[in-house]
Amino acid sequence: MHDLTVSVAELLGRPGEYRDISINKRLPGVATTLARLADDQELEADLRIESVVEGILVTGPVQGDTRLQCARCLAEFSSDVQLRVCELFVTPGHDAAGEDDVYRVVGVEIDLEQMLRDAVVLALPLKPLCRSECKGLCASCGHDLNYGACDCKDDDIDPRWAELSRLRAQLEG
């Protein structure tokens, strides 16, 4: 098996036939701004590769370890991602005209890598939180408020008041 390329020669044209495969593979570079798939751990997938009229349907659970950065306090932490894929690889002649972003059966093979990358990226959290009650950082001094209050005073100027005092200063010009 070259990378994640799977031969489906014995399935093509036989709707209803299927094969189950297990995948353990590192997929470096699967990431969003604050989340990434751990590139030192293997992604695990148990996939059913099934022949359907339009091509090959790939379904099954996928899971992997993730490294995340909290969207509030920026602390790094580990978690995992779990998802189910259900993707069709179309055989030539079955893709609707103009559809560019479909997975395709190429020759007698399907390449699972791009499909897995796409699916995992979509499952990564957009705003990871180290914990739901994370207090985040002080907007003035950057202190991590999870470790207690900072020295910033309550009367530090709120942007709304700053705008008001600027207007007043103009009026009093």
Task: List residues near Zn ion by CB under 5 A.
Answer: 70, 72-73, 130, 134, 138, 140-141, 143, 150, 152
Beta carbon nearer to Zn ion, 52 or 68: 68
The per-residue b/e assignment along 75-88, b for 16 or more CB within 10 angstroms, e otherwise, is: beeeeebebebebb
Beta carbon nearer to Zn ion, 23 or 72: 72
To Zn ion, the closest distance from the beta carbon of 68 in angstroms equals 10
Beta carbon nearer to Zn ion, 26 or 127: 127
* Cβ atoms within 10 Å of 53's Cβ, excluding its own: 10
Beta carbon nearer to Zn ion, 62 or 72: 72
Q: How far apart are CA 112 and CA 33, in angstroms?
A: 24
To Zn ion, the closest distance from the beta carbon of 124 in angstroms equals 17
Closest CA to 5 of 138, 136, 132, 105: 105
Q: How far apart are CA 89 and CA 79, in angstroms?
A: 30
At 64, is the secondary structure helix, strand, or coil? strand
To Zn ion, the closest distance from the beta carbon of 157 in angstroms equals 13
To Zn ion, the closest distance from the beta carbon of 145 in angstroms equals 8
Q: How far apart are CA 91 and CA 132, in angstroms?
A: 45
Beta carbon nearer to Zn ion, 30 or 34: 34
- Please say whether the beta carbons of 34 and 60 come within 8 A: no
To Zn ion, the closest distance from the beta carbon of 34 in angstroms equals 11
